[in-house]
Structure formats: structure tokens, C-alpha cells
A and B are shown apart, each in its own frame.
Chain A
Amino acid sequence: METFFTTCDKIQHIIKSFNLTKTLFVSSIIIGEAHTGKKTLARYLFPDTPLVSGSNQAEVELALETYDELIISDFEKLSNQSSLNFDNKRIIATANYLGNSLLIDTLFAFIYTMPTLAERPEDALYLRNKFAKEASDTLMLEYQQSVTDTIPINLASNSKSLKKTIYQHLMKQTMHIDDITEMLYHYLYTHLEGNDNYREHLILYEKPLIEAGLKKYGSQLQLSAALGINRNTLRKKIHEHHIS
């Protein structure tokens, strides 16, 4: 069974309202940005209810004839919403946006708004840890909370961007020289064009080298000594690659 973690007041009220109306024949819709957990919430509250996607109008119409209780995801994708009949049925729909507000108002008794992950910082933190554990399992890494704590919380596309950032971050941490050269090989292979490639792609090596070196050695003087290059050359390259 799916679980749903939240410390958000708004979502707790949504859960309460759904729990009260679980046995009633009312139509409800949860509207909110993509990847905020609308479908997971519907599944958590109605684990045994058939689920259809709004991307297939015919399938939804058939399911409405067959079942008294139905979850319709991606409701905004339905081509003809006004033809649907929800009389004496228990409908739980999810939608990424409101669409025709008048029609939604007529079709649904309960209209809920799902808050974004940015509005639920504690939920975002919980999900970061959860996804980091899953990613560690998938990538066969040992889970370390201290590493997870350094992962930036990217909520630009809610849980999708959060998950993507976690995978990218964990993969970067564990790369070996072979992986890096292979990655560079693929990058260079697709990007080589023109007649100034050596100078243009030098940034791939020099920029991370100088940035990491500056962080490690603290000053340009010490870094130029560690790199074995002239101080003026280093300064020129810092300027060239816009390193602050």
C-alpha cells in the first residue's frame, strides 16, 4: 500500500475531508502543479479504486459505465469533460491545472488545491531523504545522511526536479576517472565543430581545476605553485573563464 507523508496543514485537511466522504457518492478533484503528489494521495486514500487516465476519453467513459467509484488522473487532458455524468458516483479526479473553471465547478462538489512542494518545506526535506535512500539503493551506494544533507533541494518541478538533482548529485560523487573521461568523450564527440575546438573546449578542464584549486589552496599564489604555472598565467585564465 502506498503511504503519504505530510506535515502540511492544508493536506491534512484534504485527507480529513476525503476520509469523511469516503463512503459518500460525491465527486472530488485535486488540482495542483505536476509532481506534487496528487495521484499518490488519491491512491493512498483509495487503494482499491480503479484508476484511468484522462488522456483517453473513451477509456474514462467506459470506466464510468462500469464502476461506481473511480480515480481519473490528468483530468485536464480529457477532450470532452462536459459529456461526463458523475451522478451517484464516487469520483476522485486529479488535474495539473483548473482549465474550464465553470465546468469544474459544476462537475465537482469538492475542489481541493494541492500546495506545491516549495510551500511544504518539511515535506520536501522528507522526500529528499526518501529519494536519496532509493537512489543509493539503485546506484548500489552506501547511504550517508551527511552526503544527503549536502544535496541542494531543487523544487523547480516539484518532486521531479528534486529526484533528478539527487540522482545527478549522487552519481557525481561516485565517479571515477574512467567515467569522467567517457562522459567527456561523449560530450566532445557531439560538440566538436568549427576550427577553434582546442581553445573552446579547454574550459572543460581548466575551469573546474582552477575552481577546485582556489577552494583547496585559498590563494592564487599558493595555487599557481601547486599547479606549476606562472601567477600571471593563472590570473589570465581566471579572467578568461569568468571565475570569481
Chain B
Amino acid sequence: MSINFESFIEWDNSPFILFNHKGKILYLNNAAEILFGYVSKKELYDIALSYAPQNFGYKTTALSLNYDSFMFYAITVGYENEEELSLRLYNTPRIKPSKKLETDKLIITDINILLEANIALFKTKNRNHLTLLTDQDLPPFKLDQNNFSKLLRKVLDAFRASDSIDITLKLIIGQHVIIDDKKQPIVRLSIHANGRYTNADEEIRTLAIPSQIKCITKEYGIDLEIPLIS
């Protein structure tokens, strides 16, 4: 019996990369192709070399890797000859909120209004320069207005001492999230500056969970991936 496993790897949700002995990419699956938008070839090759088994074979190591919104909890590095080295990264599972999102109780909201109101609140306390780039054509969608406002307040507050703050709000093309067995588009709110406070990050992540918002905290910014529930 002969089975062609290549298409299974091609469509696997976890990135898979095959390097040659000089670090040149011989093959990469779809997930790895997206990942290379956020991490360099060299960085992943170096990781593969560092965690490669001493002899021919495969070795799985548990380690935490974060590249933008991509999070991995383990890698497998393997080689069967001197020419090729493979690296597989395992996606960290998304934390499912213990409480189900009651979409019936959510209110259809223009997110731009909530964003502007929170910026006005931020301006009552701070004089930082702030630029806002939003998609005014985003349709109103279902949101817990109060919880989302609290989350926005906390997120903006992390930038209270930043010199210049860039806020962008846009629809992510081609990505979806499943809520109540329905495929929902995702809106990304990115707030970036030259630096920020990180002491409220845990609280921000906790506030994001009940609204099924994915929160990506970085050194210079915070991204919120909000499900556009219709």
C-alpha cells in the first residue's frame, strides 16, 4: 500500500519546513508560508539546528515560541541524511472561555463610536499625540459594549506615557473564527507606540476572554482580534 502523505502536511494547520544543509528552504507547507510573514528564515533555521537530535532521527522539544499572533508550544526537528533538516512547530491551542458567549445578549454596535468615545476619555487624562486609521465602512456587529469599553480603556491606558500612538482598525481578509458553529470574520484593532506599560497585560487578556477576543501583547503594541458577530 502506498499513501501520499504530502498533501496532509501541505494542509496541516501547524507549520512544517524542510531546509537543506545550507539553510535554504526546500519545502514549506501553507501554515509555514503565512508564518514567514512574521519571522525570518534564518531564525527558524537556527532554532532547527539548536534543537536537532545528535544522531539521525527525530526529537521533539517543548518550548514556547511567539511570533506576532502565532504561538507554539513545541517543535520537532528531524533528519535522515546530511542534506535535509525538517522543522515542525506545534500551535498552542486557543483557550476556550469557560463561559459560553451569549450572542443573543450582545448589542449591534458601531465599533468606531466606542473607539472614538474611549479616545475622548483617554484625552481627558493625557496629551499624547495620537493617530487613528479606521475603516468607516465596517458594518456594525454584535458586541458586549460595556466589557469591550473596559477592555479598550485598559488597553489605551497602557500607552499613557507613550510619545506617539498609532491606532488602526481593519478587517482581516481571509481569516475567520468559529463562534456558535458559525464562521465569523475578524476585525483587528492594533495600537502601537514607541513603548508602553505592560503591568496590566494580564488583566487585559482576562477582559478579552469573555468576548472571545484574541489579545496579542507585544513590547511596543497590543493587537485585539475581535470576532465580527453578525
Interface residues of A (CB under 8 A from B): 10, 13-14, 16-17, 20-21, 24-27, 86-88, 105, 108-113
Contact = CB atoms under 8 A, between A and B. Distances in A.
Interface of B: 105, 107, 109, 113-114, 116-118, 120-121, 123-125, 145-147, 149-150, 153
Closest 6 CB pairs of A and B: A109-B149, A17-B120, A20-B117, A13-B124, A16-B120, A17-B117
Nearest to A15: B120
A26 B125 contact: no
Contacts of A10: 124
B145 A13 contact: no
Contacts, number: 62
Nearest to B123: A13
A25 B117 contact: no
Contacts of B114: 20-21, 24
Nearest to B107: A25
Contact of B153 (A16, A87, A110): A110
A86 B113 contact: no
22 contacts: A13-B124, A14-B121, A14-B124, A17-B117, A17-B118, A17-B124, A20-B116, A20-B117, A21-B113, A21-B114, A21-B117, A24-B113, A24-B114, A24-B117, A26-B149, A27-B146, A88-B107, A105-B150, A109-B145, A110-B117, A110-B121, A113-B125
Contacts of A14: 120-121, 124
B107 A109 contact: no
A10 B105 CA distance: 34
B117 A111 contact: no
Contacts of B117: 16-17, 20-21, 24, 110
A181 B150 CA distance: 62
A88 B124 CA distance: 25
A109 B146 contact: yes
A109 B149 CA distance: 5
A59 B113 CA distance: 32
Contacts of A110: 117-118, 121, 149, 153
Given A24-B113, A24-B114, A112 B153 contact: no
Contact of A25 (B120, B146, B150, B153): B146
